[in-house]
Amino acid sequence: MGSGHRGVPTRAPNDFQPPCPRSGVGLALCRRLLEEDGRIHLCVACRNALKAEATRDAILELHPAAQVSTVEVDLGSLASVLRAAKELRCRFQRLDFVYLNAGIMPNPHVNFKALWKGLLTGKLLHMLTTAEGVMTQTDRLNGDGLQEVFATNLFGHFILIRQLESLLCGNEKPSRLIWTSSSNARESAFSLSDYQHAKGQESYSSSKYATDLTSVVLNRKLNKQGLYSSVVCPGLVMSNMTYRILPVFLWTLLMPIMWLIRFFAKTYTLTPFNGAEAHVWLFKQKPEYLDVLAKYHSCTSGLGKNYVEPRKMDVDEETAEKFYQKLLELEEQTLERYGDLLD
């Protein structure tokens, strides 16, 4: 988020919000956005001030003249989200882009038996590119009594957007929401009756499918007010989250194989720079002409060429509407205790 100029120099500032990007796609995104337009003002959102300053310094190393500010926000804490939104409403008159990139995958486990079965049945490549049937997680409740993955990956973002609508809607030019989803977002992992995924072991997949549903509904509700929502998949990126899945020495052994797999699986982007391709591509598009039911995938060819591939999302719009109503109900229930942080 932030302010800066793009296009006519006398125009009001543009605002961007790539969340905490210290080592992954977020940092690469910030740097690549500045390569596209050095006049923008980035406002980097991180869980704590130390990480925020480290990220700001990392950006300024390559772009010393850039306008970069920070805001502290933990997407897994409603109080933190509300405080950050209040601060942002004081600091900015409008936001042009909000990149919704924060995400967690606690205690990931790989099902090696499922991988072996996939090898024998010819489904291994599909499993390696989507993690379907391979990855499980152990979730827990956070301080707000919500499932931690749901709260961090989806609901915290949703509340932030709701609190920032005055800066996002009704502006002279469209504002944009760009959500980081995943190829692991699967309908089979999501249930309206258990949308926080308290009873399952695929909370990450469920939260990313919920992200897809939310984006679809927000377009239906807010396009007429000048707010457009898009969903991207960065592909398989080697980041802090990825390295937690297996021991580092195993990743070291697997990397040459993964580079080879890229010739068959174009979503093996591997580097944060490549993973940010779809995010940057959307930055340059006119939102009115985008397909609201498409997910934009960052892809890298076997020879290392980056490109973007739109794919139709497997979402039911009626389910999306019902889920949106549940989000509104949960918002009303959970924010009752935070009256002092609401205007």
Query: What is the rounded average pLDDT of the residues 241-269?
Result: 79
Query: Tokens for 38?
Result: 């050095």
List all residues 6 or more positions away from 35 whose beta carbon is below 8 Å from its beta carbon: none
Query: Tokens for 298?
Result: 């960052």
Q: What's the pLDDT at 107?
A: 65
Run of H or E including 69: strand 67-72
Query: What is the rounded average pLDDT of the residues 78-105?
Result: 94
Q: What's the pLDDT at 215?
A: 98
**Secondary structure, 3-state, 313-327:** CCCCHHHHHHHHHHH
Run of H or E including 222: helix 203-222
Q: What's the pLDDT at 115?
A: 61
Q: What amino acid positions are annotated as catalytic residues?
A: 204
Query: Tokens for 232?
Result: 């991207």
Mean predicted lDDT score pLDDT of the chain: 86
Q: What's the pLDDT at 2?
A: 41
User: pTM to 2 decimals?
Assistant: 0.87
CA torsion, ordered 283, 286, 288, 291, to nearest 10 deg: -60
What are the contacts of 333-342 at 24+ separation with CB within 8 A? 334/78, 334/144, 334/145, 334/146, 335/78, 335/82, 335/159, 338/78, 338/79, 338/82, 341/79, 341/82, 341/83, 341/86, 342/82
36 pLDDT more than 80: yes
Query: What is the rounded average pLDDT of the residues 102-111?
Result: 72
4 pLDDT more than 50: no
Query: pLDDT band for position 23 (50/70/90)?
Result: low
The SS3 of residue 41 is: strand
pLDDT digits 0-9 by tens, 279-316: 999 999 999 999 999 999 999 998 889 999 999 999 99
Q: What's the pLDDT at 128?
A: 61
pLDDT > 70 fraction of the chain, expressed in percent and rounded:
84
197 pLDDT more than 50: yes
20 pLDDT more than 50: no
Q: What's the pLDDT at 7?
A: 30
Q: What's the pLDDT at 66?
A: 95
pLDDT digits 0-9 by tens, 125-148: 655 666 666 667 778 999 999 999
List all residues 6 or more positions away from 143 whose beta carbon is below 8 Å from its beta carbon: 77
